[in-house]
Amino acid sequence: MSFDFVPIWTIILGAAVFLLGAILWTALEYLRIPSPQLGVRVRGRLGGLVFIGLVYVQMMLGALVAGLHAGLLYNTWPLMNGRIIPEDAFVLQPWWRNFFENPGMAQFDHRIGAYIVFLVAMTIAFTVRAQKRSVQIVNAAGLVGLIATIQVVLGIVTLITQAPLLLSALHQFTAAMLFCAAVWYAFESHYADKA
């Protein structure tokens, strides 16, 4: 596969993930069982949608890593072969092409995105639990935190072992599960806000 097709595959994955989220949201609306616990207004609706967006962008960055075979480079963690930023960070011209076509930068962006998603997921999980919200929101937030933790560990192990096919596929599957958990959390926040 040439680098010219990588953004196209990323766009195709993006459309598929968007459809997955829309289907899941619709299914959750049909499966919703009214609960007496949902009478409290929740201030997490926008935060849930923002988290979906973060996970979505992170998945697109992961698609670039997979398409550029960037998982075969810089197989050390937490640094990239002893550096914070890859040595060939901005070799392509114009400079913005590096974010889409430079394997080292694609991996760097995916790493930074992972840290951000993980921190936000942990914040959601612990904040929701501390605020004693409805059981549905607490469960969804807890699942977000659990899957995010598993995903980070899988990502590190996949990177260090030079991206074997089974681990890479498991890492991608877990990304889809994290996206679904994010949709569930946003749905529960939205539903409780409307109740």
pLDDT digits (tens, 9 = 90+) for 66-91: 988 999 999 999 999 899 999 888 88
Q: Let me know: does 113 contact 94? Beta carbons within 8 Å.
A: no
User: Whole-angstrom Cα distance, residue 13 to residue 34?
Assistant: 34
Question: DSSP assignment, residue 4?
Answer: G
pTM: 0.88
Which element (helix H / strand E) includes 25? helix 6-31
What pLDDT does 172 receive?
A: 96
Average pLDDT over residues 139-162: 97
**Locate tokens 């299914």: which residue?**
27
Q: Say what the pLDDT of residue 41 is.
A: 47
In the chain, domain spans:
3-194
pLDDT (mean) for 132-141: 89
> Helices (H), strands (E): how many in the chain?
6, 0
